[in-house]
């Protein structure tokens, strides 16, 4: 499928299924281009969702050092 750029914006009543059918008819190259554009468009949204899922970490560097030291002592004792 040849790709053509248009300078005009149209408001057409497409359903999601209509868009999906159209995308399925694209060449793999056009699908990859579309994927990259969608990644750009949704990056901030996906980053916010990921940030919400990550639990707050209250560890300090001192806590980490203590844990590592304790592990090394048990490992070296064996």
Whether 9 is covered by a domain: the verdict is no
pLDDT at 2: 65
Whether 2 is covered by a domain: the verdict is no
Whether 8 is covered by a domain: the verdict is no
Whether 3 is covered by a domain: the verdict is no
pLDDT tens digits, one per residue of 43-67: 999 999 998 988 888 889 999 999 9
Q: Is the pLDDT of residue 1 over 60?
A: no
Q: Is the pLDDT of residue 3 over 70?
A: no
Secondary structure element (H or E) that encloses residue 78, with its range? none
For residue 26, how many other CB atoms are within 10 A of its CB? 14
Whether 58 is covered by a domain: the verdict is yes
Provide the domain limits for residue 70: 16-77
In the chain, the number of structural domains is: 1
Whether 10 is covered by a domain: the verdict is no
Whether 30 is covered by a domain: the verdict is yes
Q: Which of 67, 50, 51 is nearest to 59 (CA)?
A: 67
pLDDT tens digits, one per residue of 18-46: 999 999 999 999 999 999 999 999 999 99
- Give me the chain's average pLDDT, please: 88
Whether 6 is covered by a domain: the verdict is no
Query: Could you give the angle at the alpha carbon of 58 between the alpha carbons of 49 and 46, nearest 5°?
Result: 10
């Amino acid at each position: 499928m040849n790709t053509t750029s248009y300078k005009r914006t149209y408001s057409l009543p497409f359903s999601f299924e209509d868009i999906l059918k159209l995308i399925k008819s694209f060449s793999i190259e056009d699908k990859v281009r579309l994927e990259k554009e969608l990644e750009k468009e949704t990056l901030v949204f996906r980053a916010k969702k990921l940030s919400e899922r990550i639990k707050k970490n209250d560890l300090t560097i001192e806590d980490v050092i203590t844990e590592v030291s304790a592990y090394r002592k048990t490992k070296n004792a064996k």
